[in-house]
């Protein structure tokens, strides 16, 4: 049995031994590597579990999405010619604002569809255009007020319809420029005493030959 002093010397030699240090480092690296591998394996398993759970949630969400019903809608496209008839229907409806004109068109005894045709037929006749202008002139002279815009549009629409029956020349309304000189040949002075046109109550009416049929109603100053 070795002496105690010999054991102490042996331990001292082992502590100073390079081989022992290398052996300890090798064992330590091996141990650390195993631990790291175990940790990585554990993390990989945990990540895989989370991925499986996430995929399950996605599948559940996809399954829960309701299927929308496919609804077929039919769209009707209004022909261009029908749009023009709708425009005439609007002019026809505007007559309710002007009772004094309703007797001109003689449309009360027809149904809606026939009323539109009767309105177009009446409006597109030259002598009826003159009658409408004269009715508006009577009102403007009495009130000394400018023709209402809706009435002017009604007159312009009648002229446009009549012009469709012509080949080249057109009937037109001529509006005198303000601050121009009064000319009795083409203007009708409703009020005022000056020589300059201050207000135009109603434009003049000219036939397809460019001849004045009705003078513009004006107020001078």
Residue 33 lies in a domain: no
For the full predicted model, state whether its pTM sits above 0.75: no
Residue 120 backbone phi and psi in degrees, to 5? -65, -45
Write down the pLDDT at residue 118. 86
Residue 49 lies in a domain: no
Residue-range definition of the domain harbouring residue 211: 80-220
Nearest-angstrom CA–CA distance, 174 and 159 = 12
CA 160, 119, 123, 203: dihedral to nearest 10 degrees?
A: -80
Bridge partners for 65 per DSSP: none
Query: Is residue 101 a contact partner of residue 147, using CB atoms and an 8 Å limit?
Result: no
Residue 9 lies in a domain: no
CA distances from 26 to 21, 22, 69 (A): 9, 6, 70
Residue 192 lies in a domain: yes
Residue 214 lies in a domain: yes
Write down the pLDDT at residue 64. 47
Nearest-angstrom CA–CA distance, 213 and 211 = 6
Residue 72 lies in a domain: no
Query: At 193, which CATH number?
Result: 2.30.22.10
Residue 176 lies in a domain: yes
Question: Which parts of the chain have pLDDT scores under 50?
Answer: 1-4, 34-36, 38-45, 47-48, 52-53, 56, 58-65
- Count how many domains the chain has: 1
Write down the pLDDT at residue 66. 53
Residue 108 lies in a domain: yes
- What ranges make up the beta strands (E) of 57-186? 172-174
């Amino acid at each position: 049995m070795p002496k105690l002093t010999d054991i102490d010397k042996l331990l001292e030699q082992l502590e100073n031994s390079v081989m022992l240090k290398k052996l300890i480092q090798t064992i330590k690296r091996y141990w650390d590597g195993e631990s790291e591998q175990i940790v990585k394996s554990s993390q990989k398993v945990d990540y895989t579990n989370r991925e499986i759970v996430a995929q399950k949630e996605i599948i559940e969400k996809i399954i829960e999405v309701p299927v929308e019903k496919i609804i077929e809608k039919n769209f009707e496209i209004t022909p261009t010619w029908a749009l023009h008839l709708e425009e005439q229907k609007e002019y026809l409806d505007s007559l309710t604002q002007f009772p004094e004109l309703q007797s001109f068109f003689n449309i009360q005894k027809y149904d809606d569809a026939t009323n539109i045709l009767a309105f177009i037929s009446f409006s597109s006749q030259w002598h009826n255009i003159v009658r409408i202008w004269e009715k508006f002139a009577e009102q403007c002279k009495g009130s000394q007020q400018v023709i209402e815009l809706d009435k002017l549009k009604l007159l312009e629409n009648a002229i446009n319809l009549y012009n469709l029956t012509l080949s080249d020349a057109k009937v037109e309304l001529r509006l005198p420029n303000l601050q121009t000189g009064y000319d009795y040949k083409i203007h009708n002075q409703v009020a005022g005493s000056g020589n300059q046109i201050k207000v135009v109550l109603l434009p003049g009416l000219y036939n397809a030959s460019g001849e004045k049929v009705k003078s513009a109603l004006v107020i001078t100053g």
